[in-house]
Structure 1
């Protein structure tokens, strides 16, 4: 019988479900206020989720049409990799800066940017628990999982990382 890990207990306690990009999540907030976006879409003003990665889980390359703010809650630090429009890679290390030098509690991923996330190896914690706030609110219809081959061709300097953190290849 498998040991009940902290990650398993959090998944159960928070009611988390598998996410298509990897890891586990549960929506915790959806604004009742609606806004009209510049392309005339009607959206919730904001949404929020819990998000957990455990073991070798990763958040595969994807993008959404809204800004996404990541918040560190507990566990091992996490690297959020963002590919910019000019071909650069920006990596935000989320974690407790008092325990993990160089880490921050929050990082923002701009709308329409490809991004992925992975846990930083830690002997003490088997998970990373985060929150994600999206504004305007998240809709799965605006979620796009990357094709690794196409994304690597667009960002050849980062092809190894793109392939390592991908779930789809052409």
Structure 2
């Protein structure tokens, strides 16, 4: 049985805002400590964290960032995090309450540079997750996939890539 959540009440309670890739979010942590990326003179926060809510049929569109991202499940319906690695292999991590749902995990890792997208397993569902990024997330290092870009590169995954574009 799913952990039913009132997504509209949660948006107000957690002060969530629409996210450019879909869903709602709010940054909850940005480390004061700064780190320098290898091969760069720019510094970044050592780590950042957000709440991220998927509801009302929204999904997280295909995108990538330059840092590792750890997804954490908090409440609601299971979430599939689809990851395309550098070789074009598709991995799907199912987040959910692992204490009561077989085949789910509380956390999943997306490696820096991999393309990924996420959706509630049930399109009518809602789920609250969190994402921790290290080095910290910066919108300047965020890239949404251009329309058709991934389908042309990975035709074996065309249906999923198009559906979550």
Shorter chain as denominator, the TM-score bin is over 0.9
Mapped partners of 2:141, 2:123: distance in 1: 33
Q: How does 1:1-170 map to 2 (within 5 A)?
A: 6-40=6-40, 41-121=42-122, 126-166=125-165
Q: CA deviation at 1:122?
A: 7.7
Q: CA deviation at 1:150?
A: 1.2
Q: Please give the secondary structure, in 1, of the residue aligned with 2:151.
A: helix
Q: Which runs of 4+ in 1 moved over 6 A?
A: none
Q: Cα RMSD (Å) of the superposition?
A: 1.3
Mapped partners of 1:95, 1:148: distance in 2: 30
Normalising by the residue count of structure 1, what TM-score does the alignment of the two structures yield?
0.91
CA contact 1:7–1:54 (8 Å) conserved in 2:
yes
Normalising by the residue count of structure 2, what TM-score does the alignment of the two structures yield?
0.94
**Size of the alignment, in residue pairs?**
160
Unaligned runs of 5+ in 1: none
Mapped partners of 2:75, 2:147: distance in 1: 30
Mapped partners of 1:76, 1:60: distance in 2: 18
CA contact 2:57–2:123 (8 Å) conserved in 1:
no
CA contact 2:23–2:59 (8 Å) conserved in 1:
yes
